[in-house]
Structure 1
Amino acid sequence: MAGRHKFKYDDGDEYDGEWNEDGQRHGFGRLTFSDKTSYVGYFKEGLCHGHGVLKLSDGSSYEGEFSEGKYGGYGVFRRKDGMKFEGQFVDGKVNGLGLATFADGTTGRPKNEGTFQGNRVINRCGAKDAIRKAQVAAQTAKVQAQV
C-alpha cells in the first residue's frame, strides 16, 4: 500500500496522500474530517508530524509544527473570534514563550508576552525569538500546504 493513495473511512473522513509500507499515513497528505475540519501537511506513522495547517470546523486554525499528532514546537493558533497566540506548544497546548493578541490587535496591559502555561502568562518577559520562530513555522506550513 506504500505510495500515494486516496482513502475514504467508514466515518466519512477522507485522506489523500502518502502511505508507508505498514498502511499508515506517512509523508505529505490532506486529511478532511466529516465535520469539515481539515489538516494539510506531514504525517509520520499515521499522525500529524512536522509542518502542517489545521483548519477547525468552528473557524479556528493552527499553522506550524506538529509532533505525534498534536501541536508541538512553534506555531500560530487563531481562534474564530480573532484572538491569536504566537509561540511555543507542547503536547497540544500553549506552553512556553509567546505572545497573545486580542481580536482588536491589542496585547493587553501589561502586555501578554512571556512564558505561558495553558492560557495564563506565568512570567512576563520578552519573547521576540519565540514569536519569530512561530511566525516562520506558520509561514513554512502555509507554503508547504499551498494554502
Structure 2
Amino acid sequence: MSTQQGQYRYPDGSVYHGQWDSDGRRHGYGSLILSDGSKFRGNFDKGFYSELGAIDFTDGSKYEGEFLKGRFHGLGVFVQSNNMRFEGEFKDGKICGLGIVSFPNGSHGLPRNEGYFDGMKIVRQEQCPRVIQRARDVATRVRALNL
C-alpha cells in the first residue's frame, strides 16, 4: 500500500496533517486536531488511531500509549487534568486490567491502589510492577516519536 503526505481540513474544522493511503484514509504517522481542540499525534491505520500515539484533551487530561481501531487498547498512561494518573492496561477505550493509580500528591492511597481495575475501580489488589513499568516504557516511546 502506497502512502502520500498531506494536509486536509474537514468540514467540521478538524485538521489532519500526515500520511494517507491510496484509498484516501489517514494511514501512517500524522497529527489530527479535532474541532473541539483535542489533539492526537501518532500512528493511523485505515483511518483509525493505531499502535502508538498520544491524545491531549481540551480539559487538560492526556493519554500516551497503545491504540487499536481508534481506542485506548494495550498499555499506556492516562493523566487527568487534576494530575491523577493511571498507568497500566486498557481495553476498548477503558481502563481494564492491571495497573496503578497515583493521586495528585504522588501517593497511591492506603491501601495501595495497585492491581486489577475495571474503570477507575480496583477489583483485586495485587502487585504488578512489570505491567506498570511496561506502561511507562510505552509512554516514553510515544514521547520519543516527537510528532
TM-score (structure 2 length as normaliser) = 0.97
Q: Show the 5 A alignment for 1:1-147.
A: 2-144=3-145, 146=146
Alignment partner of 1:16: what SS?
strand
How far does residue 122 in structure 1 lie from its aligned partner after superposition? 0.7
Which secondary structure does the structure 2 equivalent of 1:99 belong to? strand
**Deviations, residues 33-83 of structure 1 (Å, cap 9, x unaligned):** 121100000000000001001000110000011111000000000000010
Letter aligned with residue 14 of structure 1: V
Counterpart contact for 1:19–1:27, Cα < 8 Å = yes
Give the residue type in structure 2 aligned to 1:136. D
Q: Which amino acid aligns with 1:58?
A: D
RMSD: 1.1
CA distance in 2, matches of 1:3, 1:113: 44
Paired letter, 1:41: G
**Is the 1:2–1:22 contact (alpha carbons within 8 Å) kept by the matching residues of 2?**
no
Deviations, residues 96-135 of structure 1 (Å, cap 9, x unaligned): 0000000111101100000001111111000101101100
Deviation of 1:2 after TM superposition, in Å, equals 4.0
Q: Partner letter of residue 28 of structure 1?
A: Y
Q: Percent of aligned pairs with the same residue?
A: 38
> SS state of the match for residue 16, structure 2?
strand
CA contact (8 A) 1:2 1:20 kept: yes
Secondary structure at 1:11's aligned position in 2? coil
Structure 2 residue identity aligned to 1:105: G
